[in-house]
Every structure is written in structure tokens, then in C-alpha cells.
Structure 1
């Protein structure tokens, strides 16, 4: 019995070799993409946790200026009941260092540690054996610099800080789960003991910092400790930059982008699987129609419907399994390239290994869906009786009215024949429309995403929640005075100034970052998606994530706690942002004074006029007010962060576009070849009455090209209109509820034009097979 089913399946495969090869390629591509996406999604979190354990990364990390309050901070951590261990070491902070990264000028912050200091947390470990040298000019950089910018061991690494140039030899690259990327504040780097002391002496006390690390007996209590440290540092009146970060926040911040790309890859892979299923359904229905008589003969000779259906099930399931296996193998070859992109995002060396679990899951998903669709599509075989089949099946005949009678049509004969063929194959047309629309949507969505990372970045910056200013200024000594604002506003290139401070507060034991500004309407980055930002001193806007956690809505009153003081505020709006995992709220400066009467603004955002030179402004500012400001070039820092992601998005867009064009070409090849085989007799007759090969090629192409156009238009419209909704769906777990991506209409139109041109050219080339059809061969047959 099994042998008979196997013979039937093998016979079907031999008869439709090109269709089988097409299906094989489609499923192999789908399995390849699905395997990569699943590998990243399933492995990323556990991999980061393994690295945390290996490198003994602390659950709380903080850096702050070394001053008289250091003992207070240490005592706070030591007395916290859930503290398991902690340590504090000397560090150097370069808050605004300029360097070359990936060929562009970049501004970053460095937190520099002594590699020879004994430590039990945040271990110093290089990815490869370091240079064996005691040269004081050796520097150890995050692994990001190797995979993201192409630096190698022994290269010269230079940067500028406070208008002084510093040059070091790269002695090695380190893995750092938290401070090893451009998304989590300062980059952690190491110098050897002699080099550290020389730099410390050269920069003086202003750059001297402390780096505090703490592990807890109960990791869930890290939020409270983070808030306590932040409040204590702020209450000390510190004017220098500082940061307190939980490991959970740092890890999530590093993997957000990777998870986004993995999700897009998985969705595209599932679209490829869906295309394969549509092709399978098309092939099965075509097989039943073309082999109706043979099926009748088989049934008349004793074969059951179950056996014939099982032969189809064996045919397509075996092809899917055989195709998915090399697809999984190719994923192993591609993963090193994918691993480099992941490493540049998370700061860790991604292990290149074949993931059996992901490959097996991909195989099960693909083959399982193929089996289900094959079974459902072949059910109509049981309704075919031997008598009806041997009469060619009354259901296969078409008794519908002729919509375009050639004898009365006023249209061109070639066009009329093409239109008749178009209307005659509606099921096939629907298949092509669905396939082309799905692929076009994927390409348009990735193209729009790429434009928002490499072109108009305002929507991405808004999602992240970073204020789009040019500079952020903090006074080195004393509080901000009104005279300082007037002095800055008087500078010729300054367009406007705003105040935006970030503090740590809580609502019902839910901790969050509190943004404080005198006028939120003046900010460039507006994150509110419902309601409005606060205006009066009794108002607050909170993120959708916080609102969901504490079960509050716009119009409710909430108790806000800061530094032990609790005051009720009216919720005026809901906001969204990826930064701080969406745990953000906003209130006015007057509202903050209800919590802390002595509150004064800590920082100024400076916005330059269009065309203003940022380097000239920084030099002019230092010349006018020497030693007065800590200056951070926000614009360069934002651009640097986005540049680390742009190449990955561009690569993914290119891959999906190429796959789209390839698959459309493959489907056209399959459809046109099948069409020529089915209508071979008709085309022979047309050749006999005088039609040329080119006439018939044109007729075939124009019977399919309108369908391709409809698919491309439909896919592009869906992509153009619903890309925002698709992006919200991908980011919904991060509390993103509203997205307005920038769209480049010329870019969308160009992509559609490329797909259509390629489709037309491929259709004409494949249709050239009709030249082999001859009247003589048909007569001899």
C-alpha cells in the first residue's frame, strides 16, 4: 500500500519538475529566513543573561562625580536590606568626546576604568588575547568598535576632548552587556594602570568619578534602590552628569532594535510560507483539473480517494521537508553576518553555532502548514467519480456567457485575446495578486523603515523619546540663573532655549523617570498620544505603560512621590517612548516645586538656527564663558546612535527587496510555463493561422501584466497606509500605541516601478518558450 502511494507521489513529481523546483526554492528561502528570525528571538535573552553571569555584571550600576557625598551613596547601598555585595572604584568620565566611528564624526561619553584594579563585578575580559605590552597608551574598547566600525587590534584610536587630542593603541576589545553600546549612556573603556594615572593627572579633578556596582539578594528590589540612589544624588545638588541604571533596563535597551529586526524577518518568512501554501493549492487544483481522466482511471482500478490524497500529501510534505533542511543549513552559513549586526547592537560577541532547536521548529512549522493546506486542497478528489472523470468532468466545462466575443469586439485582436485569457484564469490571477501584494507590502514597509533611519529620523527619535536639541548644557558650578539664559539667547546662532530635567520618582511604588520642563509646547519631541502635556502646577502626564500598571486614565488623580514627599496630581495626558522601557512621566517646573520647593532647573537645551555650525558654536561658547558649562552635543550623539542601526536596516531592506523580485520572477516562470503547457494546442493553432512567436509572447505577457500591476498597487497602498499600524503592532510590548512614520513617495514609486519592470522583462523572457511550439509537431502528435 505504501509502495503504491509512493509511486504515485514520485510520478507526480516527475511530471511537474519545474513546479517542484519552484516550490523547493520558495520553501528553502522561507525556512532560511524563519530559522534566522527564530534563532535570534529565542536565543537573545538567554544569551545576554549568560554573559551577565560570565562577566558578573552588577544588577545596579552608577557613576557620579567624586565629591564629599560619596560616603553617603556607599552607605545608602550598604544599608539597603537586599544588598548582597557592592563595590566602588575610581573612574574618569569624558562626557563629550569626539571621534571617528564608521567613517563619520561621532560624539560619545566614555567612562574609563583602570584595567589593573581588582574587582569582583563587571570583570575586565577581552574577546581575543590582548596585546602583550605594558605600553601606557594601550586602550581596551567595547567590542562594538570592532564589528561596527572596523577597528582592529593594534590600530591607533584617537579622540578629542576639551579641544585636546588623545591617541591610544587598541590593546583589545571587551564584552560589556550594559555600557558596551551607544544606546545606554557612557561607553565603558579600560586603560592599564600607568595609562590611567597619566590620563587622571592630565585631566585633573574635574573628570574624576566613582563607578558604583551592586548585586542584590532579590533582583526584583532593584527598582527601589535605583530610585533611592538617584534621589540622593540629585538632592546633593550635584551639577555634573551622573547615571544610575538597572541591568534589566540596560539589557532591554540593547535588544529592542535586534528584536524589532528579528520580528520583521519572522513576519516576512511567514509571508514566504504563505506564498508557498498558495502555490501548493494552485498546483493541487491544477493537478486535479489536468489529470481528471487519470484520477478516474485510478479509481476505476481500485485506488481509493484516501490513497490518491495521501500521494499528494506525501509529494508536497516530502518536498517541504527536503527544502527546509538545506534552508536550515544555509541559515548556519548566513548567521556570522547576522551575528555581526547583532553584536554591534548589544555589545557582545554573538556565538556562531547551528541552533538545532530553531531549525527543528522551522521544519515543523513549514511542513505542518504544508500538510494542512495539502489535505484541505485535495479534499475535492473524494467527490470525483470514475464516470464523471472519464467524461472529462461536467464541472470542468464552462457554460458562462462569452464576455468578449471576437466577432463583435471593436478592440485590437491582440488585446482582445489577452483580455479573454485574463478573464478566463481568475483563480490563477487571484493567486498572483495575493503573492505580489504580500511581497510588495513587505518591501514597501522595509523601505519606509529604512527611510526613517537613514533619511527623516524625526519619527524614530520621537519613538525613542529623546529631545531633538543641538546641545545640552549643565553649569559646572552653582545653579542656573536667569542671566545665563539671556547670555545664551543673545548668541547669534541660537534659535531658542528650553529646560528639560530628568529625575527619579514613583507612583504607588511604581518607579519611573520624571521629566520636568517649564513649557512642553516648546520641545521638539512631542511624545503625548492622548490628552495633552501638563501646563499647571497640579498636572502630570504619564506614559501608557505606567497607566496600565497602576490602572489609571486621563482625568484621574495620582499620588507622586519624590524623595519621601507625596503630592497628588491630575493626569492630563498619556505619552509613549521606548527610552526607559516607557516608564516616563512629565510635569512642569512649578509642579516639581510642590514636591521639592528648592527645585531649580539643572540643564538647558540649545537649538541652533538652520545652517548653524555646531563646532563653531561650541568653540564660541567656551571662548565667551570659559569653564562655565559642561557641553554635550546631543545632535551628534543621536546621529551616532542611529548610525549603528542604519546599516542593519538598509541590509535587511536590500535582502527583502531582492527576495521579492526573485520570488515574483519565480512565480511568473511557474505560471507562464504551466500556461504554455496547458494551451499548447491553442497556441499551435494560432501559429498555424499566422500569429508570430512575438505576437503570442505579447499576448501571454499582457494577460498577466495587469494582474501584476493590481498586486503591486494593492501591496504598495497597504504598505503606504498601514505601515504605521504594522510598526505599532511590532512595538506594542514596549508601550507604543501611535506611530507616524515619514514616507518618501518617490522612493515608494521607484520600488513599485522596479518590480513592474522586472516582472515585464521576466514575463517576456519566459514566454519565449512558446517558440518551441510548432504546427508540425502538433499534427504529428
Structure 2
């Protein structure tokens, strides 16, 4: 064993620069893989630990405006699907609050914090202060994303009423702790709650019901709606969300980012393994006579192979341990980024299992590659090895004979060297295919999240209008719409309403629009929007669940009415769950003759100030409008954090890609210079300059670099959306449609080639130190 260690350390000392480069690459691979696995595995499980700790129920139901009665209570308690239920009174309202330097309108559930709960408890995070008059505890997301601190004033504007609180702590609960989950839960002492209830009155009173279910389906929600809802009020009188939807919303961004990191770490690790294989084959050729000498003096083939395996195993071990260690220092950064979206205060300590898996995967791959690559040593007889590997003859094909080839001598010699080292060229090409593919993917993500965000904004599946007005039930709709359409700055207006219809006795969110050809956000990935009154579009997720496809019939119900429709298209989008239907206005009238259009989408001309337009609309027609929403601002606030995360990941991948290219070229070119030192000495002796030799070597690497970058870029451009479709399928995005900006991608690909050439020239600059006499005489 001592001999094996001695040989291994001797090999490491012999190539210190290459050892350092390989160490850094393994450090990067270990860092990315461990960080990715920690986020992918532990972030999601952390949410599950929180919900287990707080005994979070399977679903919640908010029933407003005193609609919760004995009949509803009896129905829930006696429902065959309900294992356990708990209810309490609360205040449910929309309110405008200061948020991170601006304002934001959100739905809030105001709770009596002194009430004891068995289901769906809440807890305080970090430091909290003693309560006084008008104290309140707010979700932790308002600290990390909203900019609030302890003892800050918390002002809520509810319609025309302004209520001011003092923040005394930050909370966590399963359902109401993230902006993306629809409702934020606020908790306050009993005295404060009673004051707020008196200020707001009974119109904001609601009953919250937590339920644990035998089967997690929509049957309970459907039954509740049947008892208390009528007509078009159904989407506003009951709000029901189950725990899997909440978990998806709070963890999907972290999971998707972690998956991207893990895949990229696999690419970096694969590059490391390819380089190791190249190094072993190269070392065997360089040290052929040394291997023969070692065998001649008694070293066995197994000892020599093990010494080579141990050499790279030590480098991989040291690099991976370093990368794993660094990943734990960066986890708080990941946690802070994801906190802003998820509201989860994730603290990750050392995880020996995941780190052991990371280390084990890398080391096992290194052992397999080294043992397989070094196995040819077994076939080397000492005498053959001492001859440099020559058995009877060793005549290679003479590519580009100089006496027949035309062109610049430096370029001809470069191509001659490339053909003579075809395995090396193929290896470089494969590596550049991998790194350029990942860089192309990163460019696509960065461009769509930082430059042109249209495709990214369409992911939720929400219509991208500028403002939305919800009209009062008693408003003169036709006249009001005409007046709004005639306002300065208005480009067009159209109704896009929401309601509920039943499929297989489950309530399903349904969008209603008169003419889908005027819709500006196209979320149909297969087929077309409905045109006739017997046609509908359903979400891809719902189609898979029902085992339906385009052209199939589907039966929809509303009360006693039951109508059959033809599916004309499949939609995608993550907004409001994964089960959605789209139908025309004429179609909904077949199910609900009393249906009235109320949600008016308003599209403004470019340059029109949306807040100013909303003020004008409120001043002119406020009595006829229930709510006006700044849709641009809502979209910016809701998707801004996603854009920030994806763009940062894209930039990180681009930087690491460039670093990998530099390190790979250093390893390969430095080995090539050592292997060809006698040849270089002879060329210097016959008059070649250092610059000519630098270009000769660099030009020899450029063809595989260019070919690899070309193939990787084309693969990334053609397969990028397909890969993202797979990654985002669980989120409801069945067919990603990100913008592939050819100019940006080609520009970055050219940058890789240019950096590769510059790197080659810098590395080969060491040729200036070569002494022709010394190299020839050695």
C-alpha cells in the first residue's frame, strides 16, 4: 500500500498545475451537486416538517358573509370523506398595504391569536415583543420581502377605512404565510381583534373551516357550494384550497431551481470524468517507458493501476469535500432568495446523508472511470513498454503531408496535429457540446427573465391586460363598458369572467369570454380556443386526469342543468390550480341562463400611466364599479421574484460555463505541450517563432471547439423548450414557449470560441521558456 501512495503522490507532484485545475473543477461539481440536492430534497421536506409540527389540515374553506349555518355545519361534520374538522370565526378582506417601498393589494385573514387551535396551528419565528394596544403578528414573508421590521407600523387600507397596527412578531403557518398562496394570515390579541371587528362590522365576517379528509378531492367543496351559493356569486362566497396546492406554490420555484443546479452539476462532473480519462490515456503514452521500468523492477500492473486511481481519487475527494463545505456557507443565500417567494424560514444545518451521497456519487464515478481507463496497463509487457509501446511497427497515417499540402504552414501543422490526435479532438468536442448546451439553456433563461419577459409573464396563464374592473351587479353594463372604451388612452376592453361548473361532481374553475380571438395571452398548447357554443377548452392536467383529448366529448353540470361539449383545445398555466375550463359566453348561458359578465379587462395604449387611469376611472364611474385592479402592478409583484431567481441562476451557469472551458483547455493544452516538447524543440531549432508555435497549437484545438459549440448550441436552441416543458409539467406548463433569441445565443457561442482561443494563446505562452537545445538533448 505504501508503494501505491508513493506513486500516486509522485504523479500529483509531477503535474501540480493540472492537479489544481482538476481540483477546482471537482470543487465546483461538489458544490453544485450538494447545494442542489440540499435544496431539492430538504426544502420540500422542510415544508412538510412545518405542516406536521403545526398539524396543518388537508384543506381549508373560508365561507363569507354569514353564510355558514347549521345546515352547512351538519353537512361537513357528517360528510363521509371528513376525518376531522375545526372551525372558528375570522375577518376576511382585501386590503392595500405599504410593501417594499410601494403598495400592494392582498387578501387577508384577520384572526384572534388568543384562540386555541388543534388543526392548522401557527407559530412565531425569531424574536418577538410584548404586545400593547393594536399589536399584530404578521407572516414572515412581510419581513423578508415586504421590508417590515419589529415595532414597524402596519397600515391596512380596507375600502375607505384605514387601520394601523404595530408589528410585534413574525409568524409561520401552513396555509397563510406566502403571497403566492392567495391569502395572508394576520394574528392579534383578543382585545385588538375585537376592536378591529367593531371597526369593520359584520360584512367582513367569515368562518374558517379546517378539514382532514379520507380522500383529497373536491367533493366536500362542491357540496358546500351547493348549499350556500347561487349564480355568479359562487367564486366570491367560498374559498377552498387544499394542502398539495399550497405546497406546490411554496416550493415549486426552489425545486425547479435546484433541478437546474443538479443537472448542471452533472454536466460539470461528466466533464471532469472525461478529462480524467484523457489524462490517464495521455499519461500512459507519456510514461510508457516509466511504466515498463516499474514493471521490470517488480511493480505489478494492479499496483500501477491502483496508484493512478488513487491519484485522481485523492484530487476528487479533496475537491468534493471543499465544494460540499462551501455549499453549506452559501445555503443561507439560497434560503434568503427562496424566503421572498415561499415565506419559509429555512435553516439548513449539516446533512451527513446528502453530503455522503454527493461524495459517494462523485468518488464512485471517478473510481469506475480510472479503473476502466487504466486497464490497458495490464496488457503492457515490460519490454514493449520500454520500447515506448512499439511492437513490430508503429506507422500512423500521414495526414496532410507537408510536401503536398497547400496553405499557411502554421495552419497546416495545426490541422495535422489535430488529425493525429483524433481522440483528443473528439473529447474536446464532446466537452464543448455539453458546456455550450448548458450555456445556451442559461442564455434562454436569462433573456426571458431579464430582457424580454413576455413569455415568462404568460407562464401563470393570466390575461396580460393593464387593469381590471369588477362591475357592480346592478350596473348598466352595456352603457358603462361603452363609456370606459371611449376614455382617453384605452385601446380595448373585453370581459373575461370566472365561475364554477362541475365535472364528475367536482367544481372546476371556468373562464368565460365572448371572443377568444381577441385574447392577448395565448395559453393553448394544442388545438384552438372555443368558437361555437358547443365547444370548450380544458387544461392539459385536467385532460390527463379525465383521460380526454381533443375531439372527445365532456359533460358539464351546473345545478340541475347538464350539457355536453366538444373539447377543441388543451391549455396550460399555473394560475389558480391545474384544473381549468374555457368556454364562450353563449356556452355558459346554456348552463346558467342568469350568468352576468362582470370582470372587465382594460387594455391601455403604450405610455398611459395605469395608476392615473385608475384614479380617473374611480372618480368617473366609482359608484358602478366594485373593484379596480392595477393588473400591471399585480403581475410585476407576483412574478418579479421568479424572474429575479431565474436570471441569477442563468448568470451563475454562464460564469461557471466559461470557467469550465478555461480549466478544461488548461488541462488539455498543458498536457499537449509536455507530450510534444521534443517536437516543439526541433521546430524552434529549425526557426519557428514562439508566436507561430502558440498559434499552431491553438489552431489545432479550434476546429473541435467550434464544432462542439455549434452542435451544443443547436441542441440547446431546439431542445431548450422541450426540457423546460418536462421540468415545469407538474406546475401546469405542458409546453414551454420561451423566446429563443438567436442573436443572443450566437453571440454567446462566439464568445465561447473567442475565449477558448485567447485561453489557448495564454496557456501556450509558456512555450517562450522552451530551450531548443535542452529539449533536443533530453
Q: When the two structures are superposed, what TM-score results if normalisation uses the length of structure 2?
A: 0.91
Q: How far apart are the structure 2 equivalents of 1:212 and 1:151?
A: 27
**SS of residue paired to 1:130:** coil
Q: Hey, what does 1:19 align to over in structure 2?
A: 18
Which whole-Å deviations, capped at 9, do the CAs of 1:700-735 have from their partners, x for residues lacking one?
A: 333334443333333333222321112112123345
1:639 counterpart (633, 636, 640): 636
Q: Hey, what does 2:88 align to over in structure 1?
A: 88
1:353 counterpart (315, 330, 349): 349
Q: Hey, what does 1:333 align to over in structure 2?
A: 329
Instruction: Indicate the larger mover: 236-245 or 246-255.
Output: 236-245
Instruction: Indicate the larger mover: 107-116 or 565-574.
Output: 107-116
Q: Hey, what does 1:254 align to over in structure 2?
A: 250
| 8 Å contact kept, 2:288–2:386 | yes
Instruction: Indicate the larger mover: 596-605 or 339-348.
Output: 596-605
Matches within 5 A, 1:379-418: 379-394=375-390, 397-405=394-402, 407-418=403-414
**SS of residue paired to 1:559:** strand
Shift, 1:139, TM fit: 4.2
Q: Hey, what does 1:56 align to over in structure 2?
A: 55
Q: Hey, what does 1:278 align to over in structure 2?
A: 274
Q: Hey, what does 2:537 align to over in structure 1?
A: 541
Q: Hey, what does 2:141 align to over in structure 1?
A: 144
Shift, 1:664, TM fit: 1.3
Shift, 1:681, TM fit: 2.0
Q: How far apart are the structure 1 equivalents of 2:105 and 2:741?
A: 29
Q: How far apart are the structure 1 equivalents of 2:461 and 2:69?
A: 31
Q: Hey, what does 1:132 align to over in structure 2?
A: 130
1:115 is aligned to 2:148: no
Shift, 1:277, TM fit: 1.0
2:684 counterpart (660, 684, 687): 687
Where does the alignment leave 5 or more consecutive residues of structure 2 unmatched?
Answer: none
Structure 1 residues 105, 724: CA separation in 2 closer, same or farther (over 3 Å shift)? farther
1:608 is aligned to 2:591: no
1:263 is aligned to 2:259: yes
Which whole-Å deviations, capped at 9, do the CAs of 1:205-238 have from their partners, x for residues lacking one?
A: 65x14151312252x2452223333455542653
Which whole-Å deviations, capped at 9, do the CAs of 1:372-425 have from their partners, x for residues lacking one?
A: 2223323333333334323322489452133151x4544233333333333333
Shift, 1:99, TM fit: 3.3
Structure 1 residues 580, 711: CA separation in 2 closer, same or farther (over 3 Å shift)? same
1:223 is aligned to 2:222: no
**SS of residue paired to 1:464:** coil
Q: How far apart are the structure 2 equivalents of 1:314 and 1:653?
A: 35
Which whole-Å deviations, capped at 9, do the CAs of 1:66-95 have from their partners, x for residues lacking one?
A: 245666654543443333122132214125
Shift, 1:464, TM fit: 2.0
Structure 1 residues 174, 360: CA separation in 2 closer, same or farther (over 3 Å shift)? same
Shift, 1:282, TM fit: 0.5
Q: Hey, what does 2:230 align to over in structure 1?
A: 235
Structure 1 residues 343, 401: CA separation in 2 closer, same or farther (over 3 Å shift)? same
| 8 Å contact kept, 2:695–2:761 | yes
Instruction: Indicate the larger mover: 63-72 or 285-294.
Output: 63-72
Q: Hey, what does 1:726 align to over in structure 2?
A: 723
Instruction: Indicate the larger mover: 299-308 or 258-267.
Output: 299-308
| 8 Å contact kept, 1:58–1:213 | no
Q: How far apart are the structure 2 equivalents of 1:753 and 1:158?
A: 53
1:475 counterpart (467, 471, 476): 471
Q: Hey, what does 1:767 align to over in structure 2?
A: 764
Q: Hey, what does 1:180 align to over in structure 2?
A: 177
Matches within 5 A, 1:192-231: 192-193=189-190, 196=193, 208-218=204-214, 220-230=215-225
**SS of residue paired to 1:500:** strand
Q: How far apart are the structure 1 equivalents of 2:757 and 2:225?
A: 63
| 8 Å contact kept, 2:89–2:206 | yes
Q: How far apart are the structure 2 equivalents of 1:352 and 1:411?
A: 61
| 8 Å contact kept, 1:230–1:504 | no
Q: How far apart are the structure 2 equivalents of 1:167 and 1:398?
A: 89
1:503 is aligned to 2:502: no
Structure 1 residues 634, 241: CA separation in 2 closer, same or farther (over 3 Å shift)? farther
1:77 is aligned to 2:65: no
Instruction: Indicate the larger mover: 370-379 or 689-698.
Output: 689-698
Shift, 1:169, TM fit: 4.0
Q: Hey, what does 1:572 align to over in structure 2?
A: 568
Equivalent pairs, count: 774
| 8 Å contact kept, 1:230–1:503 | no
Structure 1 residues 609, 197: CA separation in 2 closer, same or farther (over 3 Å shift)? farther
Structure 1 residues 77, 481: CA separation in 2 closer, same or farther (over 3 Å shift)? farther
Shift, 1:656, TM fit: 1.4
Q: How far apart are the structure 1 equivalents of 2:190 and 2:742?
A: 56
1:449 is aligned to 2:469: no
| 8 Å contact kept, 2:500–2:508 | yes
Which whole-Å deviations, capped at 9, do the CAs of 1:136-183 have from their partners, x for residues lacking one?
A: 2x4433222333354332344556665777665432222233332232
Structure 1 residues 726, 204: CA separation in 2 closer, same or farther (over 3 Å shift)? same
Q: How far apart are the structure 2 equivalents of 1:167 and 1:442?
A: 50
Shift, 1:353, TM fit: 0.8
| 8 Å contact kept, 2:541–2:732 | yes
Q: Alignment RMSD, CA only?
A: 3.0
| 8 Å contact kept, 2:44–2:255 | no
| 8 Å contact kept, 1:114–1:191 | yes
1:459 is aligned to 2:455: yes
1:672 is aligned to 2:669: yes
1:324 is aligned to 2:320: yes
Instruction: Indicate the larger mover: 626-635 or 244-253.
Output: 626-635
Q: How far apart are the structure 1 equivalents of 2:162 and 2:394?
A: 84
1:699 is aligned to 2:680: no
**SS of residue paired to 1:463:** coil
Shift, 1:195, TM fit: 5.0
| 8 Å contact kept, 2:67–2:228 | no
Structure 1 residues 549, 126: CA separation in 2 closer, same or farther (over 3 Å shift)? same
Structure 1 residues 77, 486: CA separation in 2 closer, same or farther (over 3 Å shift)? farther
Instruction: Indicate the larger mover: 420-429 or 673-682.
Output: 420-429
| 8 Å contact kept, 1:227–1:504 | no
Q: How far apart are the structure 1 equivalents of 2:285 and 2:776?
A: 24
1:287 is aligned to 2:283: yes
Instruction: Indicate the larger mover: 727-736 or 27-36.
Output: 727-736
Q: How far apart are the structure 1 equivalents of 2:78 and 2:497?
A: 28
Shift, 1:551, TM fit: 1.9
| 8 Å contact kept, 2:180–2:638 | yes
Structure 1 residues 306, 481: CA separation in 2 closer, same or farther (over 3 Å shift)? same
Q: How far apart are the structure 2 equivalents of 1:479 and 1:243?
A: 25
Where does the alignment leave 5 or more consecutive residues of structure 1 unmatched?
Answer: none
Q: How far apart are the structure 2 equivalents of 1:241 and 1:99?
A: 27
Q: Hey, what does 1:550 align to over in structure 2?
A: 546
Shift, 1:647, TM fit: 2.3
Q: When the two structures are superposed, what TM-score results if normalisation uses the length of structure 1?
A: 0.91
Shift, 1:22, TM fit: 2.3
| 8 Å contact kept, 1:499–1:601 | yes
Structure 1 residues 644, 234: CA separation in 2 closer, same or farther (over 3 Å shift)? farther
1:425 is aligned to 2:421: yes
Shift, 1:18, TM fit: 2.8
Q: How far apart are the structure 2 equivalents of 1:420 and 1:105?
A: 67
Shift, 1:26, TM fit: 1.4
Shift, 1:276, TM fit: 0.9
Q: Hey, what does 2:590 align to over in structure 1?
A: 594
Structure 1 residues 105, 216: CA separation in 2 closer, same or farther (over 3 Å shift)? closer
Structure 1 residues 608, 58: CA separation in 2 closer, same or farther (over 3 Å shift)? farther
